[in-house]
Chain A
């Protein structure tokens, strides 16, 4: 069984967000790029499944649609343990384009399970995984918190209001995963970093495809107000402020 993990290259979560060209473009100067945290958890779970001798997962690959600046995060994925990395060389503007490119790749290079993080921490579109399933006519399961393989079946749990739902699905399948899928992302070991040098990172040209959206303008949210500290012994003061100042009670 082969697993493909879709990874987004996103700014580090502590990045100070700035825009350029009349607020129509994200200013990426000085930005430190990381693997989208949900995708990193998806990769961790994919590797756990491969390491579990009880199932038939024998290959884990990662794919990204992006420019050369994303190679560093793909190589990190290889250092963590992915076997192969693929980059579709394009400057993606929307989820439809990304999903379309990955689907075009999948049509020529089938995988059994595709993992996609529930959202990316930059644009939070939450759409790529579902769109890939639609393009490919694969089963698609969203909000997945647990994945296991039993024989030829994939057993998934998904979070639903007030509880969880157990799903048994065959392959091929797209699982849109969220928090809980793995405990925490892996830290690459020195040996993994050295071995990543020898693993393949294939860069492919993008397929001709229309981009359906265009960013018109970005705006930053208003700055948060100053934090007021209330002494633990004065709960009545906290209630008073919540009622009359914040007006949330």
Chain B
């Protein structure tokens, strides 16, 4: 076993840290308050290559490994999860599927601009009545010979408004149930697409989360990813990798809150000494540090398995479950350590606590992760 990062991995971590501290921290509170999409910050994320860092160099990506991705996601998420979720969705849920299963023409047309960050991708799986039960897709892709005709509504779509390219899961053969679902690459400006308003969320308020409605949208047959009926499998495989991204995001939220709480506890005095010297606070910080370190190992293990070409679905589910639960617990404690200051926006930890909640819900709730893990135990 080797617990040392390579020089390159450390350089990527430091680059992400510098970017987050220098360019994301100023204005993060205001963007959250106003639910303002981080346009300039996403442009810089693209310039630095983070939006396509996992895509191969031959398709204009960064050609980086998943370990580096975990390190970068953690650093960016310490400061602004609304930005890191954009990076995670583009890398893990959209670019990954096109790079792995797309035709050469699809890669040239759709993958390259997304890897360069000139265009953003979105992954459209959830529906008003199909969240955790993703097999119950109501959106239809009727086979019209040379094209599919799409009708239906997708919900909770990260990058819904800002994305230029959608991967849409839609049912073509209802009689085959989930084996009748196709994954289609769709230009978000296609005729018949309506994007709903930005959801007024509890956390990660600056990322654009919208509903997307499809009304007789024509999609050429060549835009289907993989074989006929491969859509559900592609979605599940994409989510396996996506979970590493969200687990790393949760890890970053937790470690960001912990670092703030540690600093505050070393400065804030009560009863004649810094509060870190009170055992009630010191033990909280010790617990937080232990759980964050464990979450980090889960994330890195899943990333390592993926980089080695080994199965990582079980490991990524464990990482996502543990890191999300840790993020919620650690951010709650960070607010508690800050006392009254923790409850106001200026000190950041209340925002991190609101952001943490979403990591327990999206890309598979904690309960869904337990289903994945327990099914894995029976294999």
Contact = CB atoms under 8 A, between A and B. Distances in A.
Interface of A: 71-72, 75-76, 79, 184, 187-191, 193-194, 197
Nearest to A227: B267
Contacts of A75: 7, 11
> Do most interface residues of chain A lie in helix, strand or loop, or is the interface mixed?
helix
A187 B62 contact: no
Contact of B49 (A72, A184, A191, A197): A191
Chain B binding surface SS class: helix
A194 B62 contact: yes
22 contacts: A71-B7, A72-B10, A76-B14, A184-B22, A187-B18, A187-B22, A188-B48, A189-B15, A189-B48, A190-B48, A190-B49, A190-B50, A190-B53, A190-B61, A190-B64, A191-B49, A191-B57, A193-B8, A193-B11, A193-B15, A194-B57, A194-B62
A188 B13 CA distance: 11
A163 to B, nearest CB: 30
Contact of B12 (A71, A72, A190): A190
Interface string B146-158: 0000000000000
B314 to A, nearest CB: 29
Contacts of B63: 190, 194
Size category of the B interface is 20 to 34
Contacts, number: 46
Contacts of A184: 22
Interface of B: 7-8, 10-12, 14-15, 18-19, 22, 47-50, 52-53, 57, 61-64
Nearest to B49: A190
B11 A76 contact: yes
Instruction: Specify which of B7, B15, B19, B62 lies most central, judged by the most chain A CB atoms within 10 Å of its CB.
Output: B15
A105 to B, nearest CB: 24
A79 B62 CA distance: 13
A74 to B, nearest CB: 10
Contacts of B47: 189
A183 to B, nearest CB: 11
A43 to B, nearest CB: 14
Contacts of A71: 7
Given A72-B11, A193-B62, 11 more contacts: A71-B7, A184-B22, A189-B15, A189-B47, A190-B50, A190-B61, A190-B62, A190-B64, A191-B62, A193-B15, A197-B8
Nearest to A184: B22
Contacts of A79: 11
